[in-house]
Chains A and B, each alone.
Chain A
């Protein structure tokens, strides 16, 4: 554990009578977020009564519970009790979800800008972006929007000064130290460098989101418009299965 980044002990704050906020650290960092997911995994292994759901964000998480069944004090004690437990390897097998992505051209209209701004050839920007397995810090902003950590600082880019009114579903984008995928068509100010034909979020699926917090995403470049169109069609029919490692 990195003592400079992580709190020695969690900080607890009541959020009303039925929710408890547990703060792990005070910055956006990979180590802190990893600890958030580890603790949540540990809690899920326990069978505490009255827990409704646990919602992770960058450096904290919120436990929603029924205080008639499980007291706030009891919950705090229980979380403290498992804080330093080790996750065994069985529980730390994170999923890596492979997201096919077509970079550049009309699919990633800002890729050229990123190349110019960073002074890197387009091909190298693609290689840098697709070589990392990104930790899903949290999902938010809109249903299924993943906040991903771990973008190489060589391709950090500022947001658009004026956000686009409409960013297409599946747009793969970067902004400052973050990267993400737009799950549905929405307004957005991030730089669009590519697009995936897979449906990241679909309310009608049994598992509506392809990724959950704590998973990793790897963008896998696809070669042609034809391949993109093929996967898009299969996705629409619900017959495309993303590869998970």
Chain B
């Protein structure tokens, strides 16, 4: 268990978000910086989609009520454990009664992720439509459907048996560099004037303070429509850049409405999702067009980086089979952790709609 002594600016419970309910008008929600979120979980021996805490700008003050492993990833909001500065992107061992505070944003990112061994779930923090993610506007998910408050006590699960910690990410992302956001044109770029795309890709845009989990609102040169900003309400996706009548682009994020009626000039590639999540109000960004092939290549690189974690000593042993993550298990069906990186053949349990079965998996070089 942990106690939220102070909640900070905005701390919510998030996982990878809700899938399959957008057709009912339910937003995806979920950790905005999906990479940092997944990485934090892997660093504490959790499955990558285990609910964790997302904090914005000024982080919370947390008291740990039992010994555990934690990892802090994403923005550098100045984490301090029992009075000492601690590193991001590595496993930290904390003892009961430890206090984690954040000294404040350092200019390197906006959103911090805190994963705990076993994750945050239990009484008051329930699975809603397949996800623990908090959707504040709908008042469901996360802890009682709301942001955390001073004094909340949050249950944590049981961590991985035998996990020894000691993991870290080499070359973690840096968010305070000159930010170039890569985009794919469309779906409705033909609804804009000839110069609009050139304006978008040759100008600098500023992130305005009224940006939130729904969208990142930008200020900068106006993007001109051909015949007006409205389309018959249609679907959207994370990273869609919609342009309302005032010509100022808005990049849609995880809590966006599931449908919208504004023209969409371009869409940010999935691999740059983290950059969007970490934009500080007032910062400047530029856009660069890439093709589908490049976008998928960059995404694959990110996935490979995360997958490399999975096979480090002491971490839960998992494989991706046809894109599905499966647990490796021992002879009695219990989850295995990596003991010997030299071992190349493992038994794995595969679950699917028809049931579960054991398969043999060989790790290729």
Q: Which residues of A approach B to under 8 Å, CB–CB?
A: 13-19, 21, 23, 26-28, 49-50, 52-62, 64, 66-69, 71-72, 138-145, 201, 203-204, 208-209, 212-213
**Do residues A15 and B264 form an inter-chain contact, with CB atoms below 8 A?**
yes
Q: Which residues in B have their C-beta under 8 angstroms from that of A53?
A: 19-23
Q: Are A14 and B186 in contact (CB under 8 A)?
A: yes
Mask of B293-325 contacts with A, CB within 8 angstroms, 1/0: 001100110010000000000000000001100
The answer to whether A15 touches B187 (Cβ under 8 A) is yes
A213 touching B23, Cβ below 8 Å: yes
Which residue of chain A has its CB nearest to the CB of B290?
A17
Q: Which residues of A contact B141 (CB under 8 A)?
A: 203
Given contacts A141-B25, A143-B24, contact A15 B128 (CB under 8 A): no
Which residue of B is nearest A69, CB measured? B323
Contact yes or no, B234 A57, CB < 8 A: yes
- A14-B184, A52-B19 provided; 7 other pairs, C-beta below 8 A? A15-B267, A16-B267, A16-B270, A67-B292, A69-B322, A69-B323, A72-B292
Indicate if B160 sits at the interface (CB-CB under 8 A): no
Bound Cα distance A221, B322 (Å): 51
- Tell me whether B23 and A16 are in contact (CB under 8 A): no
Q: In whole angstroms, what is the CA distance A244 to B6 when docked?
A: 49
A142 vs B296: C-alpha distance when bound (angstroms): 32
Contact status of A17 and B299, CB under 8 A, knowing A60-B235, A140-B259:
yes
A44 to B26, CA, bound (A): 20
- B81 sits at the interface (CB 8 A): no
Whether B25 contacts A145 by the Cβ 8 Å rule is yes
Interface pair B24/A64, CB less than 8 Å apart = no
Which of B129, B186, B235 sits near A62, CB closer than 8 Å? Answer: B235
| A140 adjacent to B257 (CB under 8 Å) | yes
> A68–B268 contact, CB under 8 A?
no
Q: Say how far B23's CB is from chain A's closest CB, in angstroms.
A: 5
Q: Which listed residue (A21, A50, A54, A71) contacts B23, Cβ 8 A?
A: A54
